Amino acid sequence: MAQTLGYSTRWVRMVIGRYNRDQPLADLRHQNPGQPPLLTPELQEAFRQALLQPHPRDGLWTIRNAAQWLSEKLSRPVDPRRAWAWMKRLGFAPLRPRPRHREGEPERQEGFKKTSSSSSSC
């Protein structure tokens, strides 16, 4: 069972022993609150406000730019994946170009844009 769970035999025996002795209350893992969040609520809001403004260097925020901003504010290195997780948590999505059809003809598309009406009749 220990190999299946990926824990040592000793650890599994300890957990099972506590469970048998005290029932589900013996599993103390739920009492461990874990590590505090990387960003305080104030820093989250500052990060959100920074992302809403154009990036000072090139106007667009990249994940690397965001990680660098967080690193400067926290005075420690921040992995770009962690910066991306915070960007998603704050409701930001990546900017991607619209998909293009492989067989699309740019000339016909431009012609369609110029001849189509600006308001629909539906």
Task: Please report, for the chain, the start and end positions of each structural domain, with discontinuous segments joined by +.
Answer: 2-31, 41-89
pLDDT for the residue 30: 63
C-alpha of 97 from chain center: 20
Write out pLDDT tens, residues 13-50.
888 887 787 776 655 666 666 778 889 999 999 999 99
The span from the CA of 15 to the CA of 2, in Å, is: 11
Write out pLDDT tens, residues 82-111.
999 999 999 998 877 788 888 878 788 777
pTM comes to: 0.56
Write out pLDDT tens, residues 39-80.
999 999 999 999 999 998 888 899 999 999 999 999 999 999
pLDDT for the residue 31: 65
Higher local confidence (pLDDT), 43 or 115: 43
- Residue 72's contacts (CB-CB under 8 Å, 6 or more residues apart) are none
Other Cβ atoms less than 10 A from the Cβ of 61: the count is 20
pLDDT of 122 strictly over 60: no
Which tokens hold the place of 45? 């809001």
The span from the CA of 49 to the CA of 44, in Å, is: 9
